[in-house]
Structure 1
Amino acid sequence: MARQWGGRWMRQALQAASLRRWSRLAGAAPDMPLAELRSQRSAARRLRLRLDDLLHVAEERLALPLVGNSAFPRPADADWAWRPELWRGPLPQPGIASVPSKAHLGAEATLFHDCPRSEITLRQIRNQRESDLAPYGLRLDVFRFSGSYLSLAVDLPPEACAGLGRRHLIRVDTIVEMEKPLEIFARLNIRHGPNTEQIVRELPLNAEEINAEFDLAYTRLNEKRVESMWLDLIFEGPEMNQVILRDMTFSRRPRAEF
């Protein structure tokens, strides 16, 4: 710890000395001999080039959403909220070309389809828009599509199932961009014992930021046997289209009692 503090102090001292030197030279420039002034101008230009490089990278990186950011709007009474890893941080494998069915991108997302020949790509991308809260997004490119279904499954963590009951509402929020309109359905799946409850909602794609809620009161959920939960995004007619999911977040809240 002492060595680390000493190294930081040394860097700060060197930076302060350099700043004092260039401040002194700037003040002396009006009366400096021309030969020396020419030499200092060349040194200043080289320094400015390196400073501009640093500022360019720093401004770009610091303007982006921070990696690992878990901040997002959520209902005030939510008892659980979560952003999956795909939208939160960099994956070891950022993309897949000619994606086979049941291909995993990270530990939580899986793509399903029945194309005999896959012309589908998946790639994690870095969000750069000022409005983005999620550091990363997911881009799905579909070229020729000869299958009958295409879906992206996102596994929810065990915390989402802890204490889950029929009194709960599950909400998904996402930001979607697409080259041309297509229908997207969200299907929430809850496995409890040998049974799986499924609730389907069509996403209202008339806006970029969309959400869907799943009311568990209308299910036959066995609250004592909840094992796992996942969401399927089902894409209808995806051929020759590009879909970007800029963000995806989940939250859970108890229904208001009347």
Structure 2
Amino acid sequence: MGLKRSGLDWLAHRRDLRRWRQTVRAATSMTLEQLRAERSEARKLRYHLNELISHADNRLALPIIGSHAFPKPHGTDWSWRPAIWREPLAVPGRSSVLSKTQLGHELTLFHDCQHSELTLRQLRNTREADLAPFGLRMDVFSFDGSFLSLVLDLPEAAVQGLKQRHLIRMDTIVEMEKPLEIFARLNIKHGPNTEQIVRELPLHEEEIMVEFDLAYSKLNEKRIERAWIDLIFENPQMSQVILRDLTFSRRPRAEF
């Protein structure tokens, strides 16, 4: 519950500041008994002030909830950070996750395990390097299936005005317990057909980024309906993956 400072509170605050300034100036001429009493009061006040400053520093250092801020290539005409990396979820996590389980309204988990030993959980990012307010952690224990993927529905704005001359870029920050292969597949439904472009994430590079160049697709620009991304995890057994951020941007390719 927030505290709302009234005019009377502000006057009281100014009066307290004035009182402590006067106390500091008078400290050299106080008796030892007076000085001991003022020191005790000052220490009590310092404790509460240090607690407030510590809480404020911790909270203000975190990425701002709802933030869309991230670097974008020159010429970007659409950009997006999905809600799960931007806003707190009503249900932050799930365990023994069944196939087709949704986390938020944009992300769905798919697998073919007989017995699910998978968990998904939204985390609050706290590192200085993080721009996204939240991250997503996936823990996989025993895995008796043949595939595991996270499917992310792209918003309608992603396909509005989409042309074959566009590049769609995906940037992410990934932490892993053990080496793992992750593939990103862009799917664009146009009429009865679905165009698919697959890229492997360069997990050993400092910048984990892939681009989907639509110039090499057979996209029917006039019949585009929707688009989505599959994140496909190879051999995920006994692993933990944290996606600290996931962002997308779109720009027309350079004309030659």
Q: Give the structure-2-normalised TM-score.
A: 0.94
Number of the residue aligned with 2:26: 28
**In the aligned structure 1, how far is the partner of 2:56 from the partner of 2:217?**
51
Number of the residue aligned with 1:251: 249
Read off the aligned partner of 2:234 and give its amino acid letter: E
**Runs ≥4 residues deviating over 6 A:** none
**In the aligned structure 1, how far is the partner of 2:10 from the partner of 2:65?**
27
Q: Determine helix, strand or coil for the equivalent of 2:27.
A: helix
**In the aligned structure 1, how far is the partner of 2:27 from the partner of 2:21?**
10
Q: Determine helix, strand or coil for the equivalent of 1:246.
A: strand
Number of the residue aligned with 1:191: 189
* Per-residue deviation, 1:154: 1.1
Q: Determine helix, strand or coil for the equivalent of 2:210.
A: strand
Number of the residue aligned with 2:103: 105
Number of the residue aligned with 2:48: 50
RMSD after superposition: 1.5
Q: Determine helix, strand or coil for the equivalent of 1:65.
A: coil
Q: 1:73 aligns with which of 71, 76, 79?
A: 71
**In the aligned structure 2, how far is the partner of 1:7 from the partner of 1:55?**
18
**In the aligned structure 2, how far is the partner of 1:44 from the partner of 1:164?**
64
1:89-100 alignment, distance < 5 Å:
89-100=87-98
* Per-residue deviation, 1:209: 2.9
Identity %: 64
**In the aligned structure 1, how far is the partner of 2:232 from the partner of 2:251?**
24
CA contact (8 A) 1:125 1:138 kept: yes
Read off the aligned partner of 1:52 and give its amino acid letter: N
Greater mean alpha carbon deviation, residues 225-234 or residues 204-213: 204-213
* Per-residue deviation, 1:89: 1.8
* Per-residue deviation, 1:239: 0.8
Number of the residue aligned with 1:143: 141
Q: Deviations over 1:84-143 (max 9, x none)?
A: 111112111111111111111111111111111111111111111111111111111111
| Residues 48, 78 of structure 1: alpha-carbon distance in 2 compared, 3 angstrom cutoff | same
Q: Give the structure-1-normalised TM-score.
A: 0.93
Give structure 2 stretches of 5+ with no counterpart.
none
Q: Does 1:130 align with 2:137?
A: no
Number of the residue aligned with 1:214: 212
* Per-residue deviation, 1:76: 0.8
Number of the residue aligned with 1:3: none
Q: Determine helix, strand or coil for the equivalent of 1:57.
A: helix
Q: Determine helix, strand or coil for the equivalent of 2:129.
A: coil
* Per-residue deviation, 1:208: 4.4
**In the aligned structure 2, how far is the partner of 1:62 from the partner of 1:228?**
38
**In the aligned structure 2, how far is the partner of 1:171 from the partner of 1:10?**
54
CA contact (8 A) 1:175 1:208 kept: no
Q: Determine helix, strand or coil for the equivalent of 1:93.
A: coil
* Per-residue deviation, 1:205: 1.0
**In the aligned structure 2, how far is the partner of 1:186 from the partner of 1:123?**
20
Number of the residue aligned with 2:114: 116
CA contact (8 A) 1:152 1:234 kept: yes
Equivalenced residues, count: 253
Greater mean alpha carbon deviation, residues 54-63 or residues 34-43: 34-43
Q: Does 1:16 align with 2:17?
A: no
Q: Determine helix, strand or coil for the equivalent of 2:46.
A: helix
**In the aligned structure 2, how far is the partner of 1:221 from the partner of 1:10?**
66
Q: Determine helix, strand or coil for the equivalent of 1:116.
A: coil
